[in-house]
Every structure is written in structure tokens, then in C-alpha cells.
Amino acid sequence: MLTINLEVIQLTLHVLAATIWVGGQIVLAALVGPLRKVAPAAIAPAARTFAWVGWPAFAVLVLTGGWMLSGAGGQSDAWQTTLMIKLLLVLVSGIGAALHTLLKNPALRGISAAIGLGSALAVVLLGVLLVEG
């Protein structure tokens, strides 16, 4: 069998946290429509419960990402540019999700959620590019 080393542990934690942050948002977005029909009062508690899992996952992403970078070196310019764009989108993803919870206007809440989730999906693509490159 192949060896499980520290790099594998780091990337596993990073990917696990990404599945929670990104996948959780997708599942929550999919549940909102049906919940609105049968149990509208359940939407806010469901979103608050997700926040308790989602934000720690976001913190794990930043920590494990920084941990992986501390051991990285000698990467190409293209790799570093990809990383910079990824980090910018991580910021947009975090700000989008935070605005979504803080704003009261329904239209602005929808826009910020879409920006947050859209940028998180782009971050996943760039993350896979980083591993490939």
C-alpha cells in the first residue's frame, strides 16, 4: 500500500473541510425551496446550525492551507499566480458568506450567497489546479 505521510494528512483535512464548506452551502441552498413550502420556520435554525459547522470548516481550510504552504517551495510563477487568485477568491467566499448572514435585505442576501458559493466553487477548481501543477 502507498504511504500515509504528513502531506497526505494535511491535504485530507483540507479537502474534508472543503467538502463541508462548499458541499454544506450547496445542500443548504437545495433545502431552502422545499423547506419554504413545508416548514418555513425551520430555514433560519437550519442556516444557523450550518454556520456552527461551516465556519469552523472555513477556519480549518485557512489553517491547513497555510500549513501546506509552510512546507511548499520552488513552485513556478504560474503556480504562485494561481495561488494568489485562489486566496483572493477565498476572501470573496468568506465575505460573501458573512454578508449573507449579516444583511437583512432579501435581494442582497441572495446576491451575497450566490457570490459566496460561486467563488467557493472557483476556489475548488483552483485548488485542484494547484495539486495538479
Any residues with CB less than 8 A from the CB of 42 and at least 6 apart, and which? 35
Take residue 22 and report the three cell numbers written for it: 462548499
Looking from the CA of 68 toward its CB, the CA atoms found within 13 Å total 20
* Least separation in angstroms between CB 16 and ligand HEM: 10
Using Cβ positions, the residue closest to ligand HEM within the complex turns out to be 65
Distance CA 34, CA 24 (A): 16
Q: Which is closer to ligand HEM, CB of 93 or CB of 112?
A: 93
| Nearest C-alpha neighbor of 62 from the set 127, 115, 118, 121 | 127
* Least separation in angstroms between CB 123 and ligand HEM: 4
3-state class percentages of the chain: helix first, strand second, coil last, to nearest 5: 90, 0, 10
Question: Which residues make up the interface to ligand HEM (CB under 6 A)?
Answer: 11, 14-15, 18, 21-22, 61-62, 65-66, 68-69, 72, 87, 90, 93, 120, 123-124, 127-128, 130-131
* Least separation in angstroms between CB 39 and ligand HEM: 29
* Least separation in angstroms between CB 97 and ligand HEM: 9
| Nearest C-alpha neighbor of 110 from the set 24, 29, 21 | 29
Q: Which is closer to ligand HEM, CB of 10 or CB of 31?
A: 10
Q: Which is closer to ligand HEM, CB of 35 or CB of 51?
A: 51
